[in-house]
Amino acid sequence: DVVLTQTPVSLLISLGGQASISCRSSQSLVHSNGNTYLHWYLQKPGQSPQLLIYQVSNRFSGIPDRFSGSGSGTDFTLKISRVEPEDLGVYYCLQRTHNPPTFGGGTKLELK
Amino acid sequence: QVQLQQSGAELVKPGSSVKISCKASGYTFTSYDMHWIKQQPGNGLEWIGWIYPGNGNTKYNQKFNGKATLTADKSSSTAYMQLSSLTSEDSAVYFCARELGYWGQGVMVTVSS
């Protein structure tokens, strides 16, 4: 199975600051059709995960432009600018290029 | 709007089975895969499998072969997951998710004697 390694495991950020989360894959996430199926989720305390970014850099419906995704191949990054209180929780990356889909271990975003 | 309403929490005995449901609304149920995901307390997320309600096709994570069985009822727009031969390792929250985009609220399954 593809292993996704997220760093850091936890992140202390001040309100209004910027956060950057890395997701590295054990193999390339470029599908044979040319697409890259790497997605990002936020799980707020006591809630189900919500999709933020799909296919590396596309914001899901209703997601503010403070969230941005980038990367290619095996290295991907989620950036959150102007951090707000509702951004706190655990962020996960997910790859769907290879079967089975696998999730990263998560990055917990907390307030400094 | 897309909504996935999952059934309530379950307390079940070791060795037994449990069937949890995920009722879909706000879209054409038969046109999208329904995925199931496991989250153990304090742990990350694990993909179990998906079902395509349009034709009943399924795909499983090999790890859950024999553990999870996915079905769907088109008449009620409801997806089901049955977990069998339950052990303490099956105690977790289980989510359904339409194509991993829209998620249900999760069902906590506790396996205890």
pLDDT tens digits for A5-27?
Answer: 999 999 999 999 999 999 999 99
User: For residue B47, which residues of chain A lie inside 8 Å, CB to CB?
Assistant: 100-103
Mean pLDDT of A91-101: 97
Check CB contact under 8 Å for B100 and A39: yes
φ/ψ (deg, to 5) at B75: -65, -30
Residue B42 has pLDDT above 80, yes or no: no
Q: How confident is the model at residue B15 (pLDDT cuts 50, 70, 90)?
A: very high
pLDDT in tens, B47-80: 999 999 999 999 999 999 999 999 999 999 999 9
Note which residues in 83-102 of chain A have CB less than 8 A from chain B. 92, 94, 96, 99-102
User: For residue B102, which residues of chain A lie inside 8 Å, CB to CB?
Assistant: 51
Residue B44 has pLDDT above 90, yes or no: no
Nearest CA among B3, B19, B6, B2 for reference residue B107:
B6
pLDDT in tens, A27-64: 999 999 999 999 999 999 999 999 999 999 999 999 99
So what's the pLDDT on residue A112? 87
Give kind and range of the element (H or E) at residue A43.
Answer: strand A38-43
Are A57 and A68 in contact, with CB atoms under 8 Å apart?
Answer: yes
Can you tell me the distance from the alpha carbon of A94 to that of B54, in angstroms, rounded to the nearest whole number?
25
Nearest CA among B29, B41, B26 for reference residue B110:
B41
Residue B82 has pLDDT above 80, yes or no: yes
pLDDT in tens, B20-39: 999 999 999 999 999 999 99
So what's the pLDDT on residue A30? 98
So what's the pLDDT on residue B41? 81
Q: How confident is the model at residue B9 (pLDDT cuts 50, 70, 90)?
A: very high
DSSP bridge pairs for A87: none
